Amino acid sequence: MAVFTSMSSDARMFDTSSVPALTVLGELVVDLIPERHTDPGPEDGAPRFVARPGGNALNVAVAAGRLGHPVHLLARFGQGPLAGHLRRHAESAGVDLSGSIDSPDPVSLAVVGLSPDGSADYGFHVIGAADWQWTDAELAAGWSSDSRAVHVGSISSWTSPGCEPIAALVERLHRTGDALVSVDPNIRPMLAEGFGNTPADVRARLDRLVATADVVKISSEDLAWLEPDTTDLDDAARRWADRGPALVLLTDGGAPLRVARPGGRLQHHTPPAVTVVDTVGAGDTLAAGLLTGLLGAGITVRAALEALDDGLLGRVVADAALAAALACTRVGADPPTSAEVDAARG
């Protein structure tokens, strides 16, 4: 039996008239996470699972909201017994859902496997789900004019038919300069090599997004799928920065993350050491921390991002890495609040 739990939040109140808002666009997923400290069920030793809210977009939006930042979520809320919990989870973090869509299609489901070190593997049940059906009209109606950054990525950004309207939106924003564009490939091989996708399709769709991006966050796992012959992560970070983004973060689990800028000095940041429960949602929390940190510092256009000094960027990255580390100390995608990050920072 799966029990849906929604994490508590004490997200700060914020004045959306004075702080540039973030928009997050993508999927909602119910994560079925195994309970690690309970006896297996009686059915042939089958594990017990807890249903938790997840998905790249929902995780990033909730993390940003808990950090006290104004955030809009553009998502397609599907149907089913767990759908209402996804909505309440977002609302409890102060996420604005006015641009989201109610869809007659089902909610996406991921069955999560956890290794002894807390790293996660995923099996997906997403055929016909709501998340992939975006239209140009829906995105035009949902976009909020107060947004100064948009984050896209993961399954919805490289799965047809919705990936085309998503790419068209970020291309327009890139062209007009109305909002910074952030991209996270967040590859899920099971879906990138099936579910109507081919590896060639996914790589081409991501190439299109990266060409519009101001910020790219990519993991070493993503890189291993996208560039299986790559072994030098320093070189990879520099190469990705030369593809067009003003800023690239390349994560490598608990190892130092790379921060690359075109023509700039490659930086390494060591994440805080924590006791890892699982890594679900850690990368999404990192992305939220990075983007809210940049927006909070007044970085709302490409020129300002390019001119950002390394010292301030280092502090923003350090806070984002701290938030991601705190998320690893909890079960599921359960990002910290701004007060918890402040307390951990000391």
Structure confidence by residue, pLDDT tens digits, 153-191: 999 999 999 999 999 999 999 999 999 999 999 999 989
Cα–Cα dist 114/279, whole Å: 9
Per-residue pLDDT at 84: 87
For 12, the token pair is 């700060």
pLDDT range class, residue 12, cuts 50, 70, 90: very low
- Kindly tell me if the per-residue pLDDT of 16 is higher than 50: no
DSSP 154-180: HHHHTSTTTHHHHHHHHHHHHHHTSSE
pLDDT, residue 124, reads: 81
pLDDT of residue 4: 38
**Tokens of residue 255, six digits:** 């190892």
Asked if residue 245 is part of any domain, the answer here is yes
Q: Dig out the tokens for 51 from the structure.
A: 């249903």
- The identity of residue 235, as a single letter, is D
Range of the domain at 209: 20-27+56-106+131-345
Angstrom distances, CA of residue 310 to CA of 132, 234, 333: 38, 17, 30
Domain presence at residue 178: yes
Query: What span, in angstroms and rounded, lies between the C-alpha atoms of 82 and 53?
Result: 9
Q: CATH code at 164?
A: 3.40.1190.20
pLDDT at 93 over 80: yes
- pTM of structure: 0.90
Q: Does residue 242 sit in helix, strand or coil? A: coil
Average the pLDDT over 64-81 and give the result. Answer: 95
Q: pLDDT > 70: what percent of the chain? A: 91
For residue 346, the model assigns a pLDDT of: 76
pLDDT of 13 strictly over 60? no
State the total domains in the chain.
1
Question: Which pLDDT does position 6 carry in this prediction?
Answer: 40
- Structure confidence at residue 36 as a pLDDT band (50, 70, 90): low
pLDDT value of position 44: 58
Q: Which two tokens stand for residue 104?
A: 């007659």
pLDDT over 90 percentage in the chain? 73
- Segment among 52-56, 58-62, 201-205 with least mean pLDDT: 52-56
Is pLDDT above 70 for 278?
yes
Digit-coded pLDDT (tens) for 236-273: 999 999 999 999 999 999 999 999 999 999 999 999 99
Neighbours of 162 (CB within 10 A): 24
Q: Establish if 116 belongs to a structural domain.
A: no
**Does 99 have pLDDT greater than 60?**
yes
Does 45 have pLDDT greater than 70? no
Looking at residue 39, its pLDDT comes to: 57
